[in-house]
Amino acid sequence: MASERHFSPLDRVLLQADAALRTLLPFSGQPGRPSPAIVEPEAELDPLQAQHVAGLMRINHTGEVCAQALYQGQALTAKLPQVRKAMEHAADEEIDHLAWCEQRIRQLGSQPSLLNPLFYGLSFGVGAAAGLISDKVSLGFVAATEDQVVKHLDEHLQQIPEADRKSRAILEQMRVDEEQHATSALEAGGLRFPAPIKFGMSLLSKVMTKSTYRI
C-alpha cells in the first residue's frame, strides 16, 4: 500500500509490538475468515480423548505463534517491498489459524501454552536474522518452516478421533493454507534449503511439540 513507505523505523517497531500483543494475548487476534469448525457438530469425546486433542491443538496454536513471529521478524528486515508485503499477507492468514486453534482449545476445556512468549521471541529473532541475510534466505526459511508445519498437521490428522470433525476441519484448512505459503515463498525466489538444515529444523520443532503438548 502507498502509505507503507512513510513508516519510520520507530513506526515499524511499534507495529511489531502491537502484532506481538495481538498474537500473545488471549482472544486478541480477530480472524478474517470464520472457523471451518463452525459448520461441524461437536463430538462426544471421553476425557482422555479430549485431553489428547487439546494437546495437539495446543501444539498447532504454538506453531502458529511461531509462524506469526517469524513473518513479523522477516517483514521488519525484508529488503524488497514486495517481499515485505508477502510476509505481512501470510501473517494475516496465520492470525486466522491462531484464533481457530485457540477457540478449539478452549472448547476442549484447556488453554494455550504458557511457553508461547518464549517461542514468539525466539522465532521473531530467527525471522529478523533471516531477513537481514537476504530476502532469498528469508523466503527459503518460510518454505522450509511451512514444510515442517504440514508434516505436523498430517501427523495430527491421523491422531484426531474420526468423530472430532471440528478439530479435523480446522487442521485440514490450515494444511491447505500452509502448503500454499510454502509454494508461494519458493515461487517468489526462496532458497531451497538442503536436507541437513531441514533436519536441524525438524529437531528444533520436536522440542517445541514435546514441551507445548502439556505446558
Return the half-sphere exposure (C-beta side, CA atoms, 13 A cut-off) of residue 13: 3
- CA–CA distance, 67 with 120 (Å, rounded to integer): 8
Residues 6+ apart with CB under 8 A from 102: 26, 27, 29, 61, 112
Residues 6+ apart with CB under 8 A from 211: 113, 115
Binding residues for Fe cation: 64, 94, 97, 146, 178, 181
Helix (H, G, I), strand (E, B) or coil at 189: coil
- CA–CA distance, 168 with 174 (Å, rounded to integer): 10
Residue whose C-alpha cell reads 537481514 in the numeric block: 132
Cell of 163: 468423530
Helix (H, G, I), strand (E, B) or coil at 80: coil
Binding residues: 64, 94, 97, 146, 178, 181
- CA–CA distance, 39 with 70 (Å, rounded to integer): 31
